[in-house]
């Protein structure tokens, strides 16, 4: 399962009930942070999430409402005695902003901080470990901007414990069987893999696309995405304003989710002009039924 916690569902002008952008992505034993608007460290505390569990931060673009909390978060991680390295993935400029503040505030960190410049002109695998791959996806905003796609790696098949016993499968043979091999027993009999194993859990995916004018084409990497967070700054009666400011409407986000054959859609990044969000759902639902609206403090997960 991949679970995400909305830390900020607002847009550039924040509201008391909607912080600037930030989302925590939990998968297996890892926590990733995507975007880090002003107040993100306090939102993490408010919702009782560990600051130190985050080892990787992905910034979509360098507008203030998406990165302004970064220096506060990394400072606090240091003051709390962090020793684990922290990696930041962001468009060009993020490192300069942080380094200038480090220099002027005469700050030093107790841990290693590294920056990885994301090339927002193309999609690429930008990070992976044994469980997860993270890709960036170029978005269409007024400034260099990338969405991020978190894809769990497919785990090997599971050998049924009963079959290990029945066929006396030695330890050395099990790795190959998990990868799909048949098993030849002591008497030379071939036991087909399908009798020995069951498929592992589905590898799931989450994509975060904000801020962007809706993309005309759904990038291949988003095909069948399990959980899609797409910005919907406006309702469709403000489609002109969305176009002019390189944002999307709820209707456009729903159409895009349908194009991707996404399983579930979360709308977020709402303009501060909207007090209520039910119209975002009613606009998107006829086009994409499994639609939800982001709210600060709300968890969503793959199904």
Instruction: Scan for tokens 């399908």, then name that residue.
Output: 194
Cα separation, 81 vs 18, in Å, equals 30
Does 107 bind its own copies (CB under 8 A)? Our answer is yes
Of the two residues 65 and 283, which places its CB atom closer to its own copies in the complex? 65
Of the two residues 24 and 262, which places its CB atom closer to its own copies in the complex? 24
| Rounded least distance, CB 287 to its own copies, Å | 30
Looking at the DSSP assignment, which residues form a beta bridge with residue 116?
Answer: 89
- Selection from 249, 299, 297 nearest residue 274 by Cα: 249
Interface pick for its own copies out of 7, 25, 34, 63 (rule CB under 8 A): 63
Interface pick for its own copies out of 72, 156, 219, 297 (rule CB under 8 A): 72
Does 226 bind its own copies (CB under 8 A)? Our answer is no
| Rounded least distance, CB 76 to its own copies, Å | 6
| Part in contact with its own copies (CB under 8 A); list of ranges 12-20, 21-29, 147-155, 293-301 | 12-20
Interface pick for its own copies out of 96, 128, 195, 199 (rule CB under 8 A): 96
| Rounded least distance, CB 297 to its own copies, Å | 12
- Report residue 268: phi and psi, to 5°: -155, -170
Q: Is the peptide bond before 211 cis (omega within 30 degrees of 0)?
A: yes
Does 41 bind its own copies (CB under 8 A)? Our answer is yes
3-state secondary structure 51-89: CCCEEEEECCECCHHHHCCHHHHHHHHHHCCCCCCEEEE
Interface pick for its own copies out of 71, 111, 115, 127 (rule CB under 8 A): 71
Number of shown-chain residues binding its own copies (CB under 8 A): 36
Of the two residues 49 and 290, which places its CB atom closer to its own copies in the complex? 49
| Rounded least distance, CB 240 to its own copies, Å | 18
Q: Which of 17, 35, 65, 129 is catalytic?
A: 65
- Selection from 39, 43, 1 nearest residue 24 by Cα: 43
List, as one string, the DSSP characters of 26-43.
EETTEEEEEEE-TTHHHH
**Active-site residue, 129 included:** no
List, as one string, the DSSP characters of 126-189.
EEE-SSEEEEEEE-BSSS-BEEEEEEEPPPPPEEPHHHHHHHT--HHHHHHHHTT--EE-TT-P
Active-site annotation, residues: 65
Interacting residue ranges for its own copies, rule: CB under 8 A? 12-16, 19-20, 38-39, 41-42, 45-46, 62-65, 68-69, 71-72, 75-76, 79-80, 93, 96-97, 100-101, 104-107, 142-143
């Amino acid at each position: 399962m991949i679970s995400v916690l909305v830390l900020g569902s607002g847009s550039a002008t924040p509201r008391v009930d909607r912080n600037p952008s930030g989302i925590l992505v939990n998968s297996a034993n890892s926590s990733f942070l995507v975007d880090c608007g002003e107040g993100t460290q306090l939102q993490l505390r408010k919702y009782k999430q560990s600051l130190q569990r985050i080892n990787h931060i992905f910034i979509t673009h360098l507008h203030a409402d998406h990165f302004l909390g970064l220096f506060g978060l990394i400072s606090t991680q240091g003051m709390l005695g962090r020793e684990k390295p922290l990696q930041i993935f962001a468009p060009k400029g993020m490192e300069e902003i942080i380094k200038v503040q480090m220099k002027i505030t005469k700050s030093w960190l107790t841990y290693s901080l590294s920056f990885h410049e994301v090339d927002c002109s193309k999609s690429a695998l930008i990070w992976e470990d044994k469980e997860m791959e993270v890709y960036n996806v170029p978005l269409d905003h007024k400034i260099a901007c990338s969405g991020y796609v978190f894809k769990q790696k497919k785990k090997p098949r599971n050998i049924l414990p009963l079959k290990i016993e029945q066929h006396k499968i030695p330890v050395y043979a099990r790795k190959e069987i998990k990868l799909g091999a048949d098993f030849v027993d002591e008497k030379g009999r071939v036991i087909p893999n399908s009798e020995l194993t069951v498929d592992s859990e589905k590898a799931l995916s989450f994509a975060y696309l904000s801020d962007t004018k809706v993309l005309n084409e759904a990038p291949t990497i988003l095909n069948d995405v399990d959980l899609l967070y797409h910005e919907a700054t406006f309702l469709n009666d403000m489609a002109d304003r969305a176009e002019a400011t390189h944002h999307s409407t709820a209707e456009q986000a729903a159409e895009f989710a349908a194009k991707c054959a996404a399983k579930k859609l979360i709308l977020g990044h709402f303009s501060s002009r909207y007090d209520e969000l039910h119209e975002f759902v009613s606009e998107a639902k006829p086009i994409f039924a499994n639609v939800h609206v982001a709210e600060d403090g709300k968890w969503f997960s793959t199904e």
